[in-house]
Structure formats: structure tokens, C-alpha cells
Structure 1
Amino acid sequence: MKIAKPLFALLTLLLLTASVSANELPNIVVFLSDDHTLTDSSLYGSTDLQTPNMERIAKAGMTFDRAFVASPSCAPSRAALLTGLMPSRNGAEPNHSRPRKEIKKLPAYFQELGYEVVSFGKVGHYAQTPEYGFDIARHFKYHEDVAVPEALKWLKARESEKPLLLFVGTNWPHVPWPKAEDIDPKTIKIPLTHVHTPKTRAARAKYYQAIKTMDRELGEVYDLAYEKLGQDTLFLHTSDHGAQWPFSKWTLYDDGIRTPMIAVWPGKIEPGQRTDAMVSWVDILPTLYAATGQTPPEELDGRSFLPVLLGETKTHRDEIFTVHSGDGNNNVYPTRSVRTGRWKYIRNLHPEYKFLSHVTNVKKEDAYWPSWENKAKTGKEAARKVKRYLERPAEELYDLEADPSEQTNLATDPQHAETLDQLRGKLDAWMKEQGDQQKVYGEPTLLNPS
């Protein structure tokens, strides 16, 4: 007997839902921070900024030392998270762009299993958030900072028996940074990549204040999640990319793409664990889906790292690929990279372009970049850092074991020609597989205009 395709699909879905309902589905809570550089937290080595809630939560679960986003700007990073596909395949390449409508989004996977899928705050890219299909999407406008307290209020009052997948996205520490009320600028250690000026120190104090707010909100959401939802709750914290500092956001250096990630699941994830497994943001969707007992679709770019969480394996990926396609006319600088455990290869598709960004272009009263330019007029080291930010070679190669801050480009060193060639080949093959068109978005600024 032949069954019409729509009817067969409906029956399959009903059978799937019934089989899943027979088992206890875990609640899932994901807390996203916004523009947070991993090393700017005590959990990841900072000695001048304490993030006590990150540390407390890490003690209850697993900390990832090598988690990476797919792209270091907000919209493509979040689109990759919510589709399980890299930017070239989901269509959201430059900042402010959207994934294609026909692509299945994260909420749909879980709604089919009977979940209520809810979003508070910046989860998608601001007003794009409802387009992903959440059952509830609230307080997603730019720096709508009531989002986290409203999420807490909603969760406290929730009475539904349905399993819950809750995303809470704080706007911190995204700019504009708040006044530094309980941060002493004198205690701040200026990073190696920064130019030391009073403006830099003052800006970092405000940035630290924003991180403290994020850390507090993280703790509040974590505590209420387990108080309200019980122990069979998978909790995940991570950030969409690094902060709005030079050599961080909009770049493929580790300060731009390497991100905090902590996972807690009492009784499933051994507490107090740290892992070197390399994972990508595209892996989050299939991992959460696998945590419900399902098999993630093979057509996704992401792969479940649930076996890492459960202690069944210590490794996940051998390479991490990342892309950046620009941010309006403020940043027209497409780049691609491949990173292994030891090596990072970056390909700057148009080295004839000047690297500009909101850092260099936004000249507000408290902007720090003008102070870098002024110091570069007389200081050699400041001049080197400013020049390095604005001008990039076609290729960059870094030995991350010897040079974790990515200061010495080995791309022209004959001793590393074989490594360079291998990584070129890996990136070429991956870009071809992805259908990467290497498109330029926006109007570039040339280093040497004719």
C-alpha cells in the first residue's frame, strides 16, 4: 500500500515525538555573552580581572580551552550557531546579514521533539532573533539590558510541563561600555597587543566593568536554571567572539575566534574537568540535539561533541576553519583561516586593502584609537602595532606553541615552507567544499590608492 509523502512525513514525525516522549528529555539553558575575549576572565588566566561566577560554574562542569566561533562578528557567528552551518553555506557572511529562509533553524529541531524554545536578549543578531522561529523571543533590541532580569522573571513564573530550551543573551561586554565604578584603572595589565596610553587604560577599565556585569548575570541565570528546572538540565555558557579591541573582533587571531565555553550537566558531565578538545560553534546545535537522544543530520557542518562532554573521548576536531567577510563599510577585509593544535594559517584575500574597523573609524570622546595614532608618531613600538593593525600580508603563519599571542609571522620563513604548503592545501580544499565565493562586501579602502 502506498502512502502519500506528506502523510508519511507526518506519521514519521508523530512516531519520533512519541518515542522521544517516552524518555525524560533534559532541559537546556544556554547563556551567551557578547564580544568577550576569552583571556579577559580569571577562568582563562586573567590576574587583574576576577570572574567568580565563570569559575564557580566551571567547577561544576567542563571548561573548554579550545572552543572557537565560526566567524568573529555578531550576525554570522550567531547564524552559524543557530543553523549548524558555516557562513558560506547558510548565507550569513558579512555582519548584519541573515541565513537563508529555507534553512532549518535550531528551534525547529527541538520543537519537533516537544520542547518550548525561548529566547531572551541578543541571541540572533538583535531584530533578526524572531526570524529563527523561537516560540518566544523578547528584548532583542540593541543593548536592551532588561533582557536578563526579564528572562529571570519569566523563568520564575513558568508553569509549563514541556521540556525547555532557553537561550539568554546578555549584551555585555559589547560596547558602549559602562562607567568603571568598581574597577581601579591602575591595577589593569595592558595586553601585549595594545598601545599603552591613559585612554587605553581608561577604556579597559570600562570594558572590565562590563565583563563584571556579564559575570553577575551569568551566575543569576545559572542558579535559577537549576533551582527551577532541576538537576537534569544541560547548561552551556559561551561568547560569540572576542571584544572590540585591535587584533580581536573582526580578525582571525585567537583573541577574535577563540571563545569561552563551559558546560554543566549534573550526573552526566564530570565536575571540574578541563578539555583541550577543539570544538566549533557550528558543533553546538548537533551537540544539544544529541543530548536529547537524537542523531544529528549529516548535512550539517557541525558535529556533536557530546562524547567529549560525557568523558567518552578527549578529542573532537583536528582543524578549525574560520572566516570573516566584513562589517559594512567600516570593515571591508575578507579573511580565511585554518587552525590546528599547533599552527594557525591566515589568508588575507585582499592585502591591498587597509584594515579598518569601528575601532579606527568611530571617533567618540572616549575613543582610545586616536591616542594610539598620536603615540605612534614618536614611539617605534606604538608605530609597529598601529601599522600591523592597518596593514596585513597575503599570508600569515603562527606557531601557537612557541608564539601563542601570534606576534611572529613565519609565512616567509623557508624552515616552515612545508607546514605552510600543507595548511594552504587544507584551506583550499575546505573553501572549495564550502562553495566559498570569496565575495567582497562593501567599499574597501586601498592602502595605496591610485
Structure 2
Amino acid sequence: MHRISLAVLALFALVGSARAADLPNIVVFLSDDHTLTDSSLYGSTDLKTPNMERIAKQGLTFDRAFVASPSCAPSRAALLTGLMPSRNGAEPNHSRPRAEIKKLPAYFQDLGYEVVSFGKVGHYAQTPEYGFDLAKHFKYHEDIAIGEAIKWLKARESDKPLVLFVGTNWPHVPWPEAKDIDPKSIKIPLTHVHTPQTRAARARYYQAVKTMDRELGEVFDEAYAKLGENTLFLHTSDHGAQWPFGKWTLYDDGIRTPMIAVWPGHIAADKRTGAMVSWVDILPTLYAATGQTPPESIDGKSFLPVLEGEQTDHRDAIFTVHSGDGNNNVYPTRSVRTERWKYIRNLHPEFKFSSHVVREKRPVPYWDSWVKKAETVKEAARKVKRYTQRPAEELYDLEADPMEQNNLALDPEHAEKLNQLRGKLDAWMKEQGDQEKIYGEPILLESE
């Protein structure tokens, strides 16, 4: 047997180091419960998010990015497995993906990366189960996480390429005191009931969004100061905020998410895209950015060609699911969304939809003020009823009705479109092995 000379070993080491140097660092900043339209980058006129705007000018903003499910644990499990909830096992909130499934950290550890997590990345205490080399400050509203992530990054000395996930708890409830938000300046969304309590609660929520935006800017700046320009930075949120018709629902305020990507030399600056992408696509996209071919066995598909300007579209349809959150919103729903159309199937319209919104008793609860106003104001009554009771099917023309107010499912003129989307959803659910399970104890409308 011939001995390998020290010179050859040294050459191998140099080649390995060169390859490691070519690999991009990856930093992902996750916000928690942030509705896309509640930011100036996406059209808000009364809530400034200057860091989102500043970062967007250096990269690509997605106008049609969507989560897989509008509650924390299923959404994050889909991100970290590249699989939809029916296939990874994390369907209701607080559930976890099956242990045997390969998770995001393992993909990058196999390539020699250090993979680190600070804050809410998985669903709180589940975070270490995903296999990060280091996972810290993942407890409920452990708000030191962002500062500690920056401190850790500043002190890091490893020459390994890095994948760093930083998850803020903002703007997840409980929302802080509105120190520099004037409630009178707030534009109340069309889906809300106008009451003083609504306005006061939105001011607190806006304060939380501002905190998130500040933390985003701090992490972005330190990432490039420490890691250099060969860094792919991604910002997105796990789903919409805890407002009616947002979180826990398949309306766009629940499933459509902010997404900004920056990678100097690879992603053109100050661009927007209408390409439709899903959270299950993030894992294979980041993996493809290292020069690897993502596995075909997962649901996600790389949108790296969109990032690099080679393609302008990605998916022709987005599928989303929701099952429940303990004994809250025990209301399994499925949807398919194209650029123009949204079809929602409520599997059990005989159930009443309920959520933390209805039961929230933390500072400035507002739902009771909606119910009170509904006693005398017809429009308030319509909104309250619509939140808690849904038909079996919903169909929306998003071009004409972006706020999803006019259900066309019973309109004969749109029967063909309804049947088309029904069939598309049926085929996808069968492909997914969706068992349409009920998790938790539902509330029956007839028992009210």
C-alpha cells in the first residue's frame, strides 16, 4: 500500500478549504405572526417598516409568497422539512414532524456547514429536535434571542460556512404598549369592525411590528459585516397575524407572507417578482444555492432561478391546509390558489370556527366590542358571523376581489371554474395522502 505524501494531503486540505470558501453563508430571519400588508413595503400607508424597505432595495421582494399552513408549528415544520403537513406529520398546531424525516440542518451539515438557530425557529421547545448544531433562546417570548444571536455572530471564529436562523417572537402576542403609535392615525382594515378597542389593539400590534423591523435591520447589518458579500439573506414570516381572517385561516391575510432575498452578485437589487412560491420551497432553494441538486422526494421545488433572474415564474398553484390549534379552531380546511382564483374547502361547515381571538383576555381585548356592536350594526354582525361560520366551499376572484369578500361558489357563471379548482384540490389531497383528520374537540353550530 502506498502512503499518501504530506504534500498530497496538504493539497487535499487546500482544495477542501477552497470549496468551503466558495459556499455561500446563509442567514434566515423569521418574523412571527406578521401580516404582509402590515408593512410599508407591501402598501401600508400608516405603518412604516424602514428596514424591510431598505433591505428590499438591495434584493428581490416576493409579492406572492405563501406559507404551507397558517399556524406556527405546521408552518415551521414545512419550512424545515420541505414537506407539506400531511406528509411530514405536523398537521395541528403544537405537533411535530416525524423523527425519521431528514430535516434542514442535516442537509447542510452533510456539506460541512455549521447550522445554528437563535430564537423561535421551530415551534419553541421543538427547535432543538430539528438537529441544529446550536439552538438557543427558543422559549416563549424569550426576547433576548436577537441580541444574543448578534453577540454570538460577532464572536464567531469558525471558518466553516454558516447557516444561521434567527427567529424573533414579534409581532406575536402579547403586543406591547403602543409608545410611539397614534391609534387615531391607523387605517382599520376592511375585514375589521371599527371600535375604539380595535384601534387600541392595532396600535399595540403596530408597535410589535416596528420592533420586528428594527431587529431585522440589526441582524441584516451584522450578517454582512461579519460574513461578507457571499451571504444569502432571506426574510419571511410564518403566517399572518392574530386577527380575524388572518392566522388560522386560508384567506390571503393568513397564508400570504412577506419575503425578501438578498445575495450580492447573484440577486439583482431593487426588484420585485410575482412568482408564486411556497414555504416548502425554501429548503430546496437554499440547498440549490450551494450548488447541490435538491431531492425530488420532497414537496418543495427550488426557486433559485427566480432569485437569479433566470425565470419570472415558479408555481402555477399554491396549496395550503389548516387543521386546528388544540381545541381552538377545530376546523379543517384546504385551499388551492392560482394567480387569480382562490378555492377554499371547509371540510366540516357544521363546526363553529373559534380561536384565541374570540377568547383573548390580554391587554386591550377587542372581540367583545365587535360582538356588542353586532347587536345594532348590520355590517358588524355580518363580519362576526362570517368569522365564526363558513360555507362548505368558497371561491374568490382575487383580481376583482382581493379582500375575498364576495364568495362566488354558488354563482352559476363560475361553475366551470369551481369544478376545475375542486378537481385540482381533490387530486392534490389524494397525492398527499390527506386523511382529513379532525384534531381536538369541535364546537357544533347547532349546539349554540
C-alpha RMSD of matched pairs (Å): 1.4
The gaps in structure 2 that reach 5 residues or longer are 1-11
- Contact kept? 1:20, 1:113, Cα under 8 Å: no
Give 2:36's aligned residue. Answer: 38
Residue in 2 that maps onto 1:4: none
Letter in 2 for 1:100: R
What is the CA–CA distance in structure 2 between the aligned matches of 1:361 and 1:394, rounded to whole Å? 25
Residues 97-128 of structure 1: CA deviation (Å, up to 9, x unaligned): 00000000000000000000000000000000
Question: Match for residue 390 of structure 2?
Answer: 392
For residues 62-101 of structure 1, what are the structure 2 equivalents within 5 Å? 62-101=60-99
Correspondences of 1:1-400 after superposition (within 5 Å) = 21=19, 24-364=22-362, 366-400=364-398
Contact 2:70–2:322 (CA<8 Å) still a contact in 1?
yes
> Equivalents in 2 of 1:423, 1:406: separation in Å?
16
Equivalent residues of 1:61, 1:273 under 8 A apart: yes
Aligned-residue offset at 1:362: 2.5
> What is the rounded CA distance, in whole Å, between the counterparts of 2:16 and 2:247 in structure 1?
44
- State the secondary structure of the residue aligned to 1:321: strand
Residue 32 of structure 1 aligns with an amino acid whose one-letter code is: L
Partners in 2 of 1:383 and 1:197 — Cα distance?
A: 13
In the aligned structure 1, how far is the partner of 2:129 from the partner of 2:237? 21
TM-score, normalised to structure 2, is 0.96
Shift of 1:361: 1.9
Q: 1:110 to 1:448 in 2, by over 3 A?
A: same
With normalisation by structure 1, the TM-score equals: 0.95
| Cα 1:377/1:29, change in 2 over 3 Å | same
CA contact (8 A) 2:322 2:332 kept: yes
- AA at the equivalent of 1:316: H
Distance in 2, matches of 1:20 and 1:330, equals 52
- Cα separation, 1, equivalents of 2:437 and 2:88: 14
Whichever residue aligns with residue 397 of structure 1, its letter is: L
Contact 2:20 2:160 in 1 (8 A): no
Distance 2:361 2:374 in 1: 17
Q: Deviations over 1:338-384 (max 9, x none)?
A: 00000000000000000000001223452100000000000001000
Aligned positions, number: 436
Distance in 2, Cα, partners of 1:422 & 1:401:
18
Given candidates 423, 426, 448, the residue that maps to 2:446 is 448
Structure 1 vs Structure 2: percent identity of aligned residues? 83
Q: Deviations over 1:319-353 (max 9, x none)?
A: 00000010000220000000000000000000000
State the alpha-carbon separation in 2 of the partners of residues 291 and 181 from structure 1: 41
Q: Quickly say closer, same or farther: Cα 1:394–1:20, change in 2 above 3 A.
A: farther
Deviations 1:251-276 (A, max 9, x none): 00000000000000001000001000
1:330·1:361 contact (CA, 8 Å) conserved in 2? Answer: no
Question: Counterparts of 1:411 and 1:346 in 2: how far apart (Å)?
Answer: 10
Give the C-alpha shift of residue 284 in structure 1: 0.1
Please list the CA deviations of residues 219-266 of structure 1 after superposition, one character each: whole Å capped at 9, or x if unmatched: 000000000000000000000000000000000000000000000000
Larger deviation, residues 358-367 vs 399-408: 358-367
2:323–2:333 Cα contact (<8 Å) kept: yes
Contact preservation (8 Å) 2:331, 2:353? yes
Query: What secondary structure does 1:336 align onto?
Result: strand
Residue 435 of structure 2 is matched in structure 1 by 437
Matches of 2:336 and 2:235, distance apart in 1: 24
Residue-by-residue CA offset, 1:65-100 (whole Å, 9 max, x unaligned)? 000000000000000000000000000000000000
Matched letter for residue 371 of structure 1: S
What is the distance in 1 between the residues matched to 2:36 and 2:136?
27
Q: Which runs of 4+ in 1 moved over 4 A?
A: 17-20
Gaps of 5+ in 1: 1-13
> SS at 2:445's partner residue?
coil
